Amino acid sequence: MGAEVEVKDEESITKLSTKSRFRYNSPLVQVSLIGLVCFCCPGMFNALSGMGGGGQVNRTATNNANTALYTTFAVFGILGGGIYNILGPHLTLAAGCSTYVLYAGSLLYYNHQPHQGFVIIAGALLGIGAGLLWACEGAIMTSYPPPNRKGTYISLFWSIFNMGGVIGGLVPFILNYHRNEAASVNDATYIGFMCFMSAGTLLSFAILPPNRVVRDDGTRCTDVKYSSVSKEATEVLQLFTNWKMLLIVPAAWASNFFYTYQFNNVNAVLFNLRTRGLNNVFYWGAQMLGSIGIGYILDFSFQSRRMRGFVGISVVALLGTAIWGGGLANQLPYSHDRPQSEKLDFKDSSFAGPFVLYFSYGLLDAMFQSMVYWVIGALADDSQTLSRYSGFYKGVQSAGAAVAWQVDTHKVPFLSQLIVNWSLTTISYPLLVLLVMLAVKDDNKTEDEIENEAPVPSSNKDINSTAIST
């Protein structure tokens, strides 16, 4: 009788191990939820920005707003990891998400009252909120998954997040299909974005703190208490002398710098209003493909973790060189002084070449950023350290973006912008290789060996104990 009970217990544990990945408190569900939050907020913001000028004919207001946005983002991106460690995910995410709603509302206001002051203030507040959101997101995405599957979970997040850009691109395409090219996008477009962003703010309360997330092997993501202001201030300051973070700086600076060029000087300059929305559907769709592809390479291509890192960086470097080379060929025929005579529509025969290039830019963006996140995730396992690392990455990234928006505002030649973008990404590859070589611990164990070493939960209660509480 006792033996039968023991056998049944073992069978129930085996079934639990198979089904547990779909528990509410599992890393899979929690990473999917943070993906949905980002789908609704930064995903929709990306669709809005991708139209060039936030959908406005005059890009000056949004360029200045984006400068304010990324300036405050640079500061709060770095501070965001410490704030997350003090407040936890609920307050950090909700505060961050609400600023996206305000920014979309400011552009709705600008449609009727073309005074850029409100848009710039909303942009500055969004920078604060984005710093909080992305530091929280980075901690969740890099610390919740099992160590040997971080690339897969990053791909999952990136796919869900960028689906927001796909859906968000359809909104302006459909609602402005017959709209005059000389007009800005209509009010309904901004209202639609605000509805999605509001939903994301509410959804942020569904995210569990790290000490209540249980992996399939029964281990918790972390069991640390939230930190203090003095400790976080000290830890954040030390990031600026951390050699690992210094090696990431060029990649971080480059990773948002190219958005200004791609959105304003390729999509907005070459294509008409409705086609820009359609292009963004495929730009963000390409990001989904890119993240899945690089995620597979970084998790499954080789047994050695270091080798996977080297191969992933090499693939992105080769693809990036080819895509920026294509961008150079596309850029040579037009400039500020030699504008294209007529903007392209998706029905034009000459649409295909520039469209494929813009699609490829989206593919490269996802592969580049997923690769950097994988490297960051390989540097540590606990959420506190990774929240600081992710916050530093987003802070430097945003400082680069702030500079890029002002570069475009001051009418720097398109060709110069392209060369700078290409150079920044190229410089980052050997530094990331060096970081993987020096700081990433190799892991040559097979999946079976990892599973055999993993602790088995003594009962269903241990693994599901936090599922009923949010």
Give the pLDDT score at 178: 67
Question: Is residue 271 helix, strand or coil?
Answer: strand
Compute the average pLDDT of residues 81-88. 84
Convert the pLDDT of each residue in 306-357 to its tens digit.
Answer: 999 999 999 999 999 999 999 999 999 988 878 877 889 888 989 999 999 9
How far is Cα 134 from Cα 130, in angstroms, rounded to an integer? 6
How far is Cα 357 from Cα 377, in angstroms, rounded to an integer? 30
Structure tokens at 419: 């060369």
Convert the pLDDT of each residue in 25-57 to its tens digit.
Answer: 888 899 999 999 999 999 999 888 776 656 664
19, part of any domain:
no
Give the pLDDT score at 12: 47
23, part of any domain:
no
Counted domains in the chain: 1
Give the pLDDT score at 385: 84
Q: Which residues contact 257 (CB under 8 A, 6 or more apart)?
A: 400, 401, 403, 404, 420, 421, 424
Give the pLDDT score at 38: 94
What confidence category does residue 462 fall into, taking pLDDT thresholds of 50, 70 and 90? Answer: very low
178, part of any domain:
yes
Q: Which residues contact 4 (CB under 8 A, 6 or more apart)?
A: none
- The rounded percent of the chain whose pLDDT value lies above 90 is 37
Question: Is residue 344 helix, strand or coil?
Answer: strand
Find the domain containing 100 and state its range: 28-210+224-464
| Percentage helix, strand, coil for the chain under 3-state DSSP, each rounded to 5 | 80, 0, 20
DSSP string, 217-249: TS-BS--PPP--HHHHHHHHHHGGG-HHHHHHH
216, part of any domain:
no
Give the pLDDT score at 408: 85
Compute the average pLDDT of residues 163-182. 74
Give the pLDDT score at 80: 85
Convert the pLDDT of each residue in 230-254 to its tens digit.
Answer: 877 888 889 999 999 999 999 999 9
Asked if residue 189 lies in contact with residue 171, where contact means CB atoms within 8 angstroms, the answer is yes
- The rounded percent of the chain whose pLDDT value lies above 70 is 84
331, part of any domain:
yes
16, part of any domain:
no
Q: What are phi and psi of 17, to 5 degrees?
A: -60, -35
How far is Cα 403 from Cα 396, in angstroms, rounded to an integer? 11
What confidence category does residue 446 fall into, taking pLDDT thresholds of 50, 70 and 90? Answer: very low
Largest CA distance in the chain: 88
Evaluate if pTM is beyond 0.85: no
How far is Cα 324 from Cα 377, in angstroms, rounded to an integer? 27
Convert the pLDDT of each residue in 353-363 to its tens digit.
Answer: 999 999 999 99
Structure tokens at 173: 């395409």
Structure tokens at 171: 């909104």
6, part of any domain:
no
Compute the average pLDDT of residues 365-382. 90
Convert the pLDDT of each residue in 134-146 to its tens digit.
Answer: 888 888 887 888 8
Least confident range from 88-97, 356-365, 438-447: namely 438-447
CATH of the domain at 339: 1.20.1250.20
Structure tokens at 458: 């003594």
How far is Cα 161 from Cα 168, in angstroms, rounded to an integer? 11
Convert the pLDDT of each residue in 397-408 to its tens digit.
Answer: 888 988 988 888
Question: Is residue 76 helix, strand or coil?
Answer: helix
